Amino acid sequence: MVRGMGKRPSARVIAVGGGKGGVGKSIIASNLAIAMAQAGNRVILVDADLGAANLHTLFGVDGPRTSIQTLLEHEVDTLEAATTPTAVRNLRLVAGMGAVPGAANINHAQKQKVLRHIRSLDADVVVVDVGAGVSYNVLDFFDLARLRLVVMTPQLTSVQNAYSFTKAAVLRALRHAASDPGEVSLLEASTSTRETARVEALLAKVRAESPAFATRLEKVLSGFGAQIVGNQVFEAKDAGIFHAISRMMGDFLSIRAPVLGHVRASRRVHDSVTRRRPLLVDDPGDECARAFHRMAEALLLAEVDEPMRPAVAVAGERDGARPDDGQTDEELPAEPGLYMRRHERHPVSWTARLEGPGGGAYVQVREVSLGGAGIEANEPLPVAVGDERTLVFDDLPDRPALPGVVRYVNARHSRVGLEFLCEGELPARIVADARH
């Protein structure tokens, strides 16, 4: 990779998280790092799973001589000096802190030191494998990046944990946007981690007290940069749950969290862990290896904003923990089935009218299927999930009208998902128009 003269550009930082352990975060992080290194980028893979580090084992490295621990114990002056070479060209590893009593509970000053050193690493890409749980330490390592990957499997418990983890990360990022104790207090007064209220409701409470602060929070949400990675997928149809959770995150957390890709359940991936040689090293032509390369390419091409400002210290967090440290078992805010798409969607740009008991409103139809339509408006629509409405397609011949029920509402973006209450010829005719 050719480099010009002048100031060294900041590394592209990618964090890999996902709630509780066992979903394959380290496998995803290590193989993505290898794929980006094989593409010619200088990559540093950081094992930030404090207390249960195992990335060095996946690379066949026994007892690395340097690690995050050696930095904190002042044996090295920089994290750069704590890197360990791997057998993969262009890829270095920063080992974590395994089997050290209290390693997962580093204090606030130690955490800030590690975060500063990660930001200053001399590399094209830095991949950070964060630990399990929702402690402040875990969330701050995850929120360090501008590209955040949430790993989950199709199992409901994994999906539930991943959603809870993402929600905690969103709320943590919003807290970092507070510039003084007054804003911290306002945000905490508007937040309840035990309820499934939408983040939009939190923003409305803040906006009533401080419009400027609410604007900053909206900027944080719009640039949150989350993407979903599915793992251990046995059948292609099971991947639909990842897209459903993506839409649920948009609805309840007010963030964009598209699906980056998914990796099939594979004996070869399983055996690569046993052999202590990553899949992309031993079997680069495997179907899963190709999936990793596709995801790596998308991450390298993704547009990213300026690096995040360092997290500020706030009262009561000097120990870096939180009372419910490690708990990611909050219930999902809605039934995932409501967000599953059972029919092929077709993008359109049609004008229509959404009719209801109180009158109607002009909307833009963005996509249609045999089962429903996705619509947008210039301002929030006065509808709620469960309301019955009729969508009149003004742009189509004879202005067909389809009755439906509201299944999805994103008030912040004035988006509504409508499920048709009729089947047969009329929806089929609309889909046929969309295809043409």
Low-confidence ranges of the chain (pLDDT < 70): 1-9, 52, 98-105, 192-196, 305-329, 341-342, 411-413
CB 95 within 8 A of CB 49: no
**pLDDT given for residue 312 in this prediction:** 44
Span 287-327, pLDDT tens digits:
888 999 999 999 999 887 654 444 444 444 544 445 444 45
Half-sphere exposure of 67 (CA within 13 A, CB side): 23
What is the Cα Rg of the chain in Å?
23
Tally of residues, the chain: 436
CB 44 within 8 A of CB 93: yes
**pLDDT given for residue 216 in this prediction:** 95
The torsion of the CA quartet 264, 268, 269, 273, rounded to 10 degrees, works out to 170
**pLDDT given for residue 304 in this prediction:** 76
Q: Which residues pair with 351 in a beta bridge?
A: 364
- Collapsing DSSP states into helix, strand and coil, what is residue 231? strand
First to last CA, the chain: 44
Pairing between β-strand 125-130 and β-strand 43-48 as defined by DSSP bridges: parallel
Q: Which residue reads 């995932």 in tokens?
A: 336
Span 223-255, pLDDT tens digits:
999 999 999 999 888 888 998 999 899 989 999
Q: What is the token pair recorded at 247?
A: 């839409």
**pLDDT given for residue 314 in this prediction:** 47
**pLDDT given for residue 415 in this prediction:** 83
Mark 24-53 as b/e (b = at least 16 C-beta within 10 Å): bbbbbbbbbbbbbbbbebbbbbbbbbbbbb
pTM reported for the whole predicted model: 0.78
d(CA 369, CA 301): 31
> Looking at beta carbons, which pairs linking 204-212 to residues 24 or more positions away fall under 8 Å?
210/183, 210/186
Residue 301, C-beta contacts closer than 8 angstroms, at least 6 positions apart:
none
**pLDDT given for residue 1 in this prediction:** 44
Residue 77, C-beta contacts closer than 8 angstroms, at least 6 positions apart:
none
d(CA 376, CA 411): 10
For the chain, domains (ranges, CATH) are: 12-301 (3.40.50.300), 341-435 (2.40.10.220)
H or E element that contains 37: helix 25-38
CA-wise closest residue to 122 among 69, 31, 46, 44: 44
Span 189-205, pLDDT tens digits:
887 645 557 898 899 99
d(CA 425, CA 436): 17
